[in-house]
Amino acid sequence: MTRPLRARIDLAALRHNYSVARQYGGATALWCVVKANGYGHGLFRVAHALSNLADGFALLELESAEALREAGLRQPLLMMEGFYSEDELPRFARHRLTPVLHSLAQVRWLVDSPMLDGLAEALPVYLKLNTGMNRLGLDQADFRQALAWLQASPRVAGITLMTHFADADEPAGITRQMACLADFRDGAAAGLPICLANSAALVRFPGARGGAGDWARPGIMLYGCSPCPAIHSAEALGLRPVMNLESQVLAVRELAPGDTVGYGSTFVASGPMRIGIIAGGYGDGYPRHAPTGTPVMVSGRRVPLVGRVSMDKICVDLSDIPAAQVGSPATLWGVGPAGHLPVEEVAAAAGTISYELLCALAARVAIQVED
């Protein structure tokens, strides 16, 4: 018998969430972000499902972009870290990939490298600006030089300015970085299209969305998660979960006062109780650091996790669900026969974020695709 743990991927929900992002974006074009294997949902699965909707797709790995092209995808592909070496330039040109340039070295490779001599068609490029995130991006002095080189180069078809918000769920952070951006957008940069908003900015800050000719980059919201769960739930934003991690009860055990549960005996029963053992553990991507009390759904009821998460199993308190038995359905996150449990709640209980849980889904977990 197949192990009773599966990730059910709801592609209709994915397309619905795209329509929500589209409503927020207005006239702005949308890069659908599919990095990290489509946030754990499957790169090709997600790209194919959105192929008739998305204006373009954003990712990191050159090999993944090439595979999408070979699979027939024709939309623009935005490479969010650009090229990592001069040797990759011919592959960018061959597959019509749009690089995000974040350093003077990358700009020099593009405009000067003999590896692009005879380039048949100029490439659109993005210039990433450091407006406060202090990871990748050009400061103002380097930006002016880079812009001059790119605007003078016949290899460049168009330039879009891009930045990334460090605090997209906080008004002060957005305001500060937007003010910094304004300092970049003068002189030769005036009027260039922009690409600013991620999911959180798209939802919360109309001034960062852009307009016709500009782009935004929805990511986590496409997969049904709120980008600002402390402010708006996914349900309140009209989003539907795409990944639904479903399992079932493998065994039921009656405990006496003083009995312990799991590795390290970290949970001690304070009285008689009934626990259920559920298929799914850190070997499947469930967070090992999820503490006692983390919510799980069993047979339509919310129950607390007890004891440490194991590689293959978790234990929950079934004392208040006398009807629960071996084979009863469980939802670790998402929507399933056992009920609805937002992945954001599981992530919050485990001290992390929904992004990590979705991206960490293990390869051994069976996938069921619904379209």
* DSSP three-state, residue 301: strand
As a whole-number percent, the residues of the chain with pLDDT over 90 amount to 93
pLDDT of residue 94: 97
Does the reported pTM lie above 0.85?
A: yes
As annotated, the binding site for substrate includes 135, 311
Q: Where does the pLDDT of residue 171 fall: very low under 50, low under 70, confident under 90, or very high at 90 and above?
A: confident
Catalytic positions are: 35, 263
The model's pLDDT over 62-102, given as tens digits with 9 standing for 90+, comes to 999 999 999 999 999 999 999 999 999 999 999 999 999 99
Sign (positive or negative) of CA dihedral 209, 214, 217, 223 = positive
* DSSP three-state, residue 110: helix
The lowest-confidence range among 51-60, 185-194, 338-347 is 185-194
The model's pLDDT over 319-369, given as tens digits with 9 standing for 90+, comes to 999 999 999 999 999 999 999 999 999 999 999 999 999 999 999 999 999
CATH topology of domain 243-370: Lyase, Ornithine Decarboxylase; Chain A, domain 1 (2.40.37)
243-255 and 329-336 as β-strands: parallel, antiparallel, unpaired?
Answer: antiparallel
The domain over range 11-221 is classified in CATH as 3.40.50.150: no
As a whole-number percent, the residues of the chain with pLDDT over 70 amount to 100
CA distance 278 to 6: 12
pLDDT of residue 39: 99
Neighbours of 91 (CB within 10 A): 16
What does the buried/exposed string (b/e) look like for 206-242 if buried means 16 or more CB atoms within 10 Å of the residue's CB? eebbbeeebbbbbbbbbbbbbbbbeebebeebebbbb
Q: Where does the pLDDT of residue 188 fall: very low under 50, low under 70, confident under 90, or very high at 90 and above?
A: confident
pLDDT of residue 174: 87
Is the CB of residue 79 less than 8 Å from the CB of residue 100?
A: yes
Is the CB of residue 82 less than 8 Å from the CB of residue 101?
A: yes
* Residue ranges per structural domain of the chain: 11-221, 243-370
- Residue 63's nearest CA partner among 46, 75, 79 is 79
From residue 1, alpha-carbon distances to 5, 252, 284, 313 in Å are 12, 19, 18, 17
The model's pLDDT over 243-302, given as tens digits with 9 standing for 90+, comes to 999 999 999 999 999 999 999 999 999 999 999 999 999 999 999 999 999 999 999 999
3 state SS for 37-95:
HHHCCCHHHHHHHCCCCCCEEEECCHHHHHHHHHCCCCCCEEECCCCCCHHHHHHHHHC
pLDDT of residue 1: 65
